[in-house]
Structure 1
Amino acid sequence: MRRRRTVTDLEPGTLVAGVDEAGRGPLAGPVVVAAVILDPARPIRGLDDSKYLSEQRRNVLEPRIRERALAFAVIEIGVAEIDRLNIFQATMQGMSRALAALAVVPQLALIDGNRLPKQLACPGRAVVGGDASEPAISAASILAKVARDRLMTALDAVHPGYGFAQHKGYPTPEHLASLARLGPCEHHRRSFAPVRALLEPELF
């Protein structure tokens, strides 16, 4: 059975921003981070962790979130910054920037996972599994996932042959095979081992 949603122990009326990312694991493309402040007066049914939702369902919910939320922001952290900082630090930077970009200042940020960025625009709380238990984090998860999937589909047209529209940059067997055949493109993460291995000079 699916887990029930939990209710965060907050005072009524507290402005809460949910924060989540999409794209930490892929070998190519940016990591995308979203922050969302939901409007209690305009509830959205069916919010859940984006991984549990079909693409069709995510595409239905995404415009509803954008329309009904009090505020939202979607931030991309590109490949160059990922390679310079590492994927964890790049994600933390994205979370800080997404919160700072909100048009409404939240009183609390609920961030999916077990770590908080060092610099936040407001107090924060890490919520393990929050993308499935906190509606605001679920909404952020959906915005980030839909935005990143669209971006990777667009990259597929620019860099045909890698299958970005199908696997979205994740290390599937098909992606690894095309990477070995074609070599990395400019959107591959040089700091990730499968890509780095193709760029290292032969030792023997």
Structure 2
Amino acid sequence: MTRGRFITLEGGEGAGKSTQRAALATALRAGGLEVVETREPGGSDGAEAIRDLLLTGGADRWSPRAEALLFAAARADHLERTIRPALDRGAWVLSDRFLDSSRAYQGAGELTDADILALHRIGSADFFPDRTLVLMLPETEAEARAKARDGESTDRIGGRDRAFHRRVADVFARLANEEPARVRAIDASGEAGLVTARLLDALADLLP
């Protein structure tokens, strides 16, 4: 049996990851593929329990190091319980966020990218996606979309200040530039169907 493919959608708040994951899954299923849709933090019973810990409470609920460890633990369970079994049976797995979100959100402050990669090596044995699609939007458009989606109610990470989210966007752009074989920057502006077409183009070399 042919192993499936693991595809991750990344980007800042309001980039349209969840919408595009669903649209991409529909397109791939129409082509005859089994597709599993998942998310981070979450995607397995253990990881969903950790998600509640990570995204609720005050901004200072967790130190940067504790937060990074929790994300790594959730990812390890997600990978073991959901992602690997699906890939082993030949399914394609589409995840709304994975390791590169930790690199952008937790690895651009007190911790370094090397720290996040070390945690990933310990927790998830250096497992990387086959392709990472980073949805890129101008800052003002991303903010408007996030506000339309969430109103005044944001989680403890999404609600951080503009300077933090600007650093996150910079890291995603850097990853796309430094790791072009795996990470592709996708223009997320315009009509949703056009964005989905761009995503499919960026996966063309992996499709059966």
TM-score by length of 1: 0.31
User: Whose helix fraction is larger, Structure 1's or Structure 2's?
Assistant: 2
TM-score by length of 2: 0.31
User: Is the radius of gyration larger for structure 1 or structure 2?
Assistant: 1
